[in-house]
């Protein structure tokens, strides 16, 4: 299916933003994402045109929401002003969007993410999907459900390189399995309440909870503070970052800073 861009939408920027771990580059103009038990290939035909290997029906049902196409990211990007550093971050992150990803998958993914490099996170998640997720096709596996994780032995799960996070993941699977309606309960909470509720899970502190809220629950005002963001803030916002200016889109600003600052400094 052909899609004509009407807003910021850059595959490389999204793939390298750190918000997704199964959205990967195949070559300069071709990317693949595995999400919601489906595989999607996205080809950049030209700067304004994408070719997606899905039906119009699937696009409307799944991918439109996944790519958050009802949110105007270019206007958020263009709202950045009065700060040279922030303006540069926004400019370098043109094309950034915040995906609507699966909440359960984001919960487990960001529990895995702690104290790991992004390549290592991707390796662990991929192994976990191959180990106990549904097979989609020859090379792609869906993210496992809570019960699929619970039915897999600790020895097998350990082979995914989860380390000390294994018990956190099993405990989260337990929670999601024993409370099937947990997502509808969490969705109703305010941002503050959601953060507190997520932090009740083992292995979920401020940073991981913020990531789950921002990238899973699409609460665009969360501003996860990782090592890169903290470095950027201490270098460029010595008097503190003003979270009023860009509310309720601080999460988008966080993505601009993370992507631009990390690319510039690694």
Residues that bind DNA (CB under 7 A): 17-19, 113-121, 123, 158, 161-165, 199, 201-209, 211, 224, 226-229, 254, 258
Tell me how far, at minimum, the Cβ of 216 lies from DNA, in Å.
Answer: 13
Token pair recorded at residue 72:
């105007």
Tell me how far, at minimum, the Cβ of 48 lies from DNA, in Å.
Answer: 26
Identify which of residues 54 and 100 has a Cβ nearer to DNA in the complex. 100
Token pair recorded at residue 212:
């789950």
Residues in the chain: 266
Identify which of residues 117 and 184 has a Cβ nearer to DNA in the complex. 117
Tell me how far, at minimum, the Cβ of 16 lies from DNA, in Å.
Answer: 9
Q: How far apart are CA 16 and CA 228, in angstroms?
A: 14
CA dihedral 94, 16, 217, 232 (to 10 degrees): -70
Identify which of residues 54 and 93 has a Cβ nearer to DNA in the complex. 93
Identify which of residues 211 and 220 has a Cβ nearer to DNA in the complex. 211
If residue 255 lies in a helix (H) or strand (E), which one and from where to where?
helix 250-265
Tell me how far, at minimum, the Cβ of 206 lies from DNA, in Å.
Answer: 5
Tell me how far, at minimum, the Cβ of 90 lies from DNA, in Å.
Answer: 16
Which letter, b or e, does each residue of 219-251 get, where b requires 16 or more Cβ atoms within 10 Å of its Cβ?
A: bbbbbbebebbeebbeebeeeebeeeebeebbb
Q: How far apart are CA 236 and CA 238, in angstroms?
A: 6
Q: What are phi and psi of 16, to 5 degrees?
A: -100, 10
Tell me how far, at minimum, the Cβ of 218 lies from DNA, in Å.
Answer: 15
Angle of the 250-265 helix axis to the 84-92 helix axis, nearest 10: 80
Q: What DSSP assignment string belongs to 119-139? A: HHHHHHHHHHHHHHSPB-SSS
Token pair recorded at residue 175:
């929670």
Apex CA 174: angle with CA 169 and CA 177, to 5°?
A: 120
Identify which of residues 2 and 118 has a Cβ nearer to DNA in the complex. 118
Identify which of residues 114 and 145 has a Cβ nearer to DNA in the complex. 114
Q: How far apart are CA 126 and CA 136, in angstroms?
A: 13
Identify which of residues 80 and 209 has a Cβ nearer to DNA in the complex. 209
Tell me how far, at minimum, the Cβ of 10 lies from DNA, in Å.
Answer: 15
């Amino acid at each position: 299916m052909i899609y004509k861009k009407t807003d910021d939408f850059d595959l490389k920027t999204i793939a390298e933003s750190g918000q997704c771990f199964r959205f990967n580059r195949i070559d300069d103009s071709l990317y693949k994402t595995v999400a919601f038990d489906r595989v999607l290939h996205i080809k950049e035909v030209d700067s304004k045109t994408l070719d997606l290997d899905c039906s119009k029906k699937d696009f409307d049902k799944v991918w439109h929401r996944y790519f958050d196409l009802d949110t105007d990211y270019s206007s958020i990007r263009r709202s950045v002003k009065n700060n040279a550093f922030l303006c540069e971050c926004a400019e370098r992150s043109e094309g950034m969007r915040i995906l609507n990803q699966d909440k359960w998958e984001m919960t487990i993914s960001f529990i895995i993410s702690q104290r790991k490099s992004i390549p290592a996170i991707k390796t662990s998640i991929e192994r976990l999907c191959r180990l106990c997720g549904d097979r989609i096709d020859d090379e792609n596996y869906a993210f496992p459900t809570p019960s699929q994780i619970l039915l897999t032995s600790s020895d097998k799960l350990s082979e995914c390189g989860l380390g000390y996070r294994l018990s956190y993941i099993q405990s989260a699977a337990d929670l999601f399995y024993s409370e099937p309606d947990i997502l509808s309960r969490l969705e109703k909470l305010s941002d503050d309440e959601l953060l507190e509720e997520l932090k009740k899970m083992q292995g979920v502190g401020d940073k991981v909870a913020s990531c789950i809220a921002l990238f899973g629950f699409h609460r665009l005002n969360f501003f996860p503070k990782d090592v890169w963001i903290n470095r950027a803030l201490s270098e460029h916002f010595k008097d503190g970052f003003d979270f009023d200016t860009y509310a309720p889109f601080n999460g988008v600003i966080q993505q601009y800073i993370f992507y631009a600052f990390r690319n510039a400094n690694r």
